Amino acid sequence: MKLFIDTADIAEIERIAGWGVLAGVTTNPSLLAAVEGDEDTIYRRICELVDGPISAEVTEPDVKDMVSEGRRLSAIHPNIVVKLPTCAEGLTATSELAKDGIPVNMTLCFTGSQALLAAAAGARYVSPFVGRYDDIGNDGVEALRDVVESLFATEYDVQVITASVRSPVHVQEAAKMGADIATIPPKVFDQMLGHPLTDKGLEKFNADAAARAAKTKKTPAKSRKKG
């Protein structure tokens, strides 16, 4: 399973890209509203930082305007993927853009039926929202499984992006069931990496390395940082 980052925060994208783990980026209007700066400049910078699919969401409500905004976003960089909502207008716009070979990520997907419609319209990616399904008292992981299994035996060339990820458990469950991608907020990347036993073990190794260096009168190697 590939790991994408779900943010428009350039500093965070740069930080996690530095780990060498990122295969793509997703953004949405709420994530963009949380950062300063011109939208197109942000997309261009993200494309410089991560060499993979970069989702940029359309905000127009009507099909004609969705299609022209999608074409405009797509022209920013070859790696841009146009993000469209899973609704009737979004399906029509997806099929129009797909005819031109423009990749589309259909977002706000919650069921296998919605995912099948997105795939049939020509979406290259479909994004089931796990956390938001949990939020209304349902099982988001099971809803994700419904999407993955619904698409599994179809002929569509579509990849599942696990979205609305709120915890490392969501990422692990997505990987175990064979979802293609998980798009992960920076905070969850940190939660995935950190472990108290790793920190404790590293402290001990650093202390032992320093003690040994003192005994042999060698300059100790610079202490390694905690994860």
Q: Annotated active-site positions, please?
A: 83
- Could you please report the per-residue DSSP string of 6-62? E---HHHHHHHHTTT--SEEE--HHHHHTS-S-HHHHHHHHHHH--S-EEEE----S
Q: Is 183 in the site for ligand G3P (CB under 6 A)?
A: yes
Q: Kindly tell me which of 136 and 153 has the beta carbon lying closer to ligand G3P.
A: 136
CA 145, 172, 16: angle at the middle one, nearest 5? Answer: 125
Out of 5, 6, 106, 174, the residue judged to bind ligand G3P by CB under 6 A: 6
Residues 102-141 binding ligand G3P (CB under 6 A) are 127, 129, 131-132
Q: Kindly tell me which of 137 and 196 has the beta carbon lying closer to ligand G3P.
A: 137
16: tokens are 């996690």
Q: Kindly tell me which of 50 and 217 has the beta carbon lying closer to ligand G3P.
A: 50
The count of chain residues that interact with ligand G3P, using the rule CB under 6 A, is 10
Residues 150-179 binding ligand G3P (CB under 6 A) are 163-164
- d(Cα 197, Cα 189) in Å, to the nearest integer? 17
Residues 9-48 binding ligand G3P (CB under 6 A) are 26, 28
Distance (Å) of CA 192 to CA 78, 167, 172, 217: 31, 8, 10, 38
Q: Kindly list the residues in this chain that would bind ligand G3P in the complex (CB under 6 A).
A: 6, 26, 28, 127, 129, 131-132, 163-164, 183
